[in-house]
Amino acid sequence: MKIELETKSYTEKANLYQILNKEELSKNDIVYLLSLNDKPDTEILFQHADEVRKKFCGDDIHLRGIIEFSNFCEADCVYCGLRKSNATLERYRISIDEIITTAKKIYSAGIRTIVLQSGEDPHYTKDDITKIIEAIKQNCDVAITLSLGERTFEEYDEWKQAGADRYLLKHETANLKIYSSLHSKQKLEERLNHIRYLKSIGFQTGSGNIIGLPKQTIEDIADDILLCKELDCDMCSFSPFIPSPETPFRDIPPAELSLTLKTMAVARIVLKNVHIPATTALSTLSPEGRKLGLQVGANVIMPNFTPDEYKDKYRIYANKKTYDPINYVKELKELISSMGRRVAEDKGHSLKI
């Protein structure tokens, strides 16, 4: 009996190493890796992901300073606390001047990417966003990432012309049925067309999924990783679902930490030279989340510089971590150096250009 067990364990290890040594992973390989439960096997996966991260991204960790400038949203994504039909949320919009002042603070903190994020809020017109991009570019030598949801192709064109560098638009899930159950109006194919269009006009694009959605399977998560590969994204975010009490998903349990980390690790192995953040949601899921994420393939952290009076109101999910950004950056730098890594001083553009 003992010999049989050892033989089985040997075969499984051999299988694991064989998959990890492949240049291209199939969907079956990805599902196999995401299904690992044995702690030593999972450790081997994590270690390999960290080696792939080192080979393709080096030891630099890129900080992106984020400004969540409006929590108004025209969309009604079922899982999200900012959804239009959440009448309990106190809404805010930050003025153009305050956005620009906040961007200058990020630049003064030594951060070289500014992420402008909001719900889908048409109150900020094409010209407003252009004005913000141009003012930031005139005052700060930074890259600008936009994360404004689905807007028109004409708007994307103008913002690219104005100097924006990157656009984040998560596909959320590659499973058509689940996607349709989350959105009353938006269509998955439309979203993918937006991501493809953004890429075609020269934006560095970011997409990614949400882990732990109802009815989502390991196969779906494998499809998410493969979809990011097909979209040739420059940045990919794999973040855990955390319920918001202000949504119909209030009673759905949060994603498992181990599955989130395995997804990040496998994504790093499959996607190789992309930027992968250790998300704020991961830190909300576990106090060690940031460090764990950086150990399994992540190379980006996005400190939140949204002014204090608003940041509690950008509640996509519950118990979102808030902090003083300057202290947070200081603490991050200590953590990063204690891990033998370093904070990048450049803008951290795509590793594919």
Token readout for 110 is 């030594």
CB closer to ligand SF4 out of 75 and 162:
75
Residue 212 is a binding residue for ligand SF4 (CB under 6 A):
no
Among 73, 162, 210, 298, contact with ligand SF4 (rule: CB under 6 A):
73
* 119/348 with CB nearer ligand SF4: 119
Q: In what order do the strands lie in the sheet with 143-147?
A: 65-70, 113-118, 143-147, 166-168, 204-211, 235-240
Q: Does 89 bind ligand SF4 (CB under 6 A)?
A: no
* For the chain, counts of helices (H) and of strands (E): 14, 9
Q: Residue 154: is it exposed, middle or buried by C-beta count within 10 angstroms (0-12/13-18/19+)?
A: exposed
Residues 260-319 that bind ligand SF4 (CB under 6 A): 316
Kindly write down the DSSP assignment for every residue of 133-196, as one continuous string. HHHHHHH---EEEEE--S--HHHHHHHHHHT--EEE---B-S-HHHHHHH-SS--HHHHHHHHH
Beta carbon nearer to ligand SF4, 63 or 80: 80
Q: How far is the CB of 168 from ligand SF4 (least distance, A)?
A: 11
Nearer to ligand SF4, 213 or 296 (CB): 213
Decide whether 45 or 73 has the Cβ nearer to ligand SF4: 73
348 binds ligand SF4 (CB under 6 A): no
Q: Which stretch binds ligand SF4 (CB under 6 A): 23-31, 73-81, 106-114, 211-219?
A: 73-81
Closer Cβ to ligand SF4, 75 or 103, answer by number: 75
Q: By the 8 A CB rule, do 94 and 135 touch?
A: no
Report the relative pairing of strands 300-301 and 60-63 from DSSP bridges: parallel
Smallest gap, in angstroms, from Cβ of residue 75 to ligand SF4? Answer: 4
The CB-based long-range contact list for 337-340 (8 Å cut-off, 24+ gap) reads 339/291, 339/294, 339/295, 340/59
Residues 139 and 148 sit within 8 Å (Cβ to Cβ): no
The single residue among 34, 49, 75, 210 that binds ligand SF4, judged by CB under 6 A, is 75
CB of residue 76 vs ligand SF4: minimum separation in angstroms? Answer: 6
80 is an interface residue for ligand SF4 by CB under 6 A? yes
Q: Which amino acid is at 187?
A: K
Residue 29 or 155: the one with the smaller Cβ distance to ligand SF4 is: 155
Please name the residue ranges forming H helices in 25-152: 27-34, 39-57, 96-108, 126-139
* Residue 32 or 310 having the CB closest to ligand SF4: 310
The answer to the question of residue 151 lying near ligand SF4 (CB under 6 A) is: no
**Helix intervals (H) in 62-112:** 96-108
Q: Which residue do the tokens 């940031």 mark?
A: 290
- Binding segment for ligand SF4 among 7-15, 49-57, 59-67, 80-88 (CB under 6 A)? 80-88
Q: Which of 67, 82, 231, 278 binds ligand SF4 (CB under 6 A)?
A: 82
Does residue 208 belong to the site contacting ligand SF4 (CB under 6 A)?
no
Q: How many residues does the chain have?
A: 353
Closest CA to 323 of 61, 65, 62, 60: 65
Positions in the binding site for ligand SF4 (CB under 6 A): 73, 75, 77, 80, 82-83, 119-120, 149, 316
